[in-house]
Amino acid sequence: MPSTKKVQNTHMSERLRALHLATLEIVGAMNLPQRDEALIAEAGIALDRALFPLLVGIERFGPIGVVELAGRVGRDYTTVSRQVAKLERLGLARRRASAADRRVREAVATPKGKAMTELIDAARERMGHAVFATWDAREIDELTRLMEKFADALNGGAPVGSQVKTGEQAAPARRSPERTRPSPSLRQSGSRSR
């Protein structure tokens, strides 16, 4: 007769495998170049696709050092440094010395960069309505809660965005605006659209 613990471990292993596969599917879908291109087109902005995730990362997590930003987007920091310089030339970001460590150069979004990310956010919300068209508000709320819990657990219990180990000063704990203020369109009296 198998022990209860072995059955529970087997069941947990199956769940973890399914979770891992689902996570890979989500990451794979989110990383498709066509998704970024579609979002850029929907936002009606003129921005090189390679610069898109950097601008969003700078706006969400800035001020942010180049090494931390490179780690977040999975690119070499020298490449990211050149791309941040492009964003700077476009007037979308600026670099400055870190207040905590003058040796570290941080990037922050300019008002023009912030305006562009607001267009991106509006486009993402419009596109999200199609993804969540058949979900009710409770399901979306539960997915959001569980995804935040999962992200926090992956960070060792620290809120997402805190304590990235990159050789630079760790960023203070913070959540993106989406994570602290869910979109009102998701919370409308049982609305099925998002």
Concatenated DSSP letters of 98-157: -SS-TTSEEEEE-HHHHHHHHHHHHHHHHHHHHHTTT--HHHHHHHHHHHHHHHHHHTTT
What local confidence, expressed as pLDDT, does residue 101 receive? 85
| pLDDT tens-place values along the chain, 194 residues long | 556 566 567 777 888 999 999 999 988 888 888 888 999 999 999 999 999 999 999 999 989 999 999 999 889 999 999 999 999 999 999 999 888 888 888 999 999 999 999 999 999 999 999 999 999 999 999 999 999 998 888 887 665 544 443 334 344 344 444 434 333 333 333 333 32
Q: Please choose, from the candidates 122, 113, 126, the residue with its C-alpha nearest in 3D space to the C-alpha of residue 47.
A: 113
pTM equals 0.70
Asked whether the beta carbons of 52 and 58 are under 8 A apart, the reply is no
- Residue 2 is predicted with a pLDDT of 56
Please give the class, per CATH, of domain 32-186.
mainly alpha
In our burial notation (b when 16+ CB lie closer than 10 A, e otherwise), range 134-168 reads ebebeebeeeeeeeeeeeeeeeeeebbbbebebeb
Q: What is the model's pLDDT at position 120?
A: 95
Sequence spans of domains, the chain = 32-186
Rounded CA Rg of the chain: 19
Question: What pLDDT is stored for residue 90 in this prediction?
Answer: 97
> Do residues 93 and 55 make contact, with C-beta atoms less than 8 angstroms apart?
yes
Vertex 172 angle, CA 51 and 147, to 5°: 70
In the β-sheet with 105-109, what is the strand arrangement from edge to edge?
64-65, 105-109, 93-97
> Residue 183 CB: number of other CB atoms within 10 A?
16
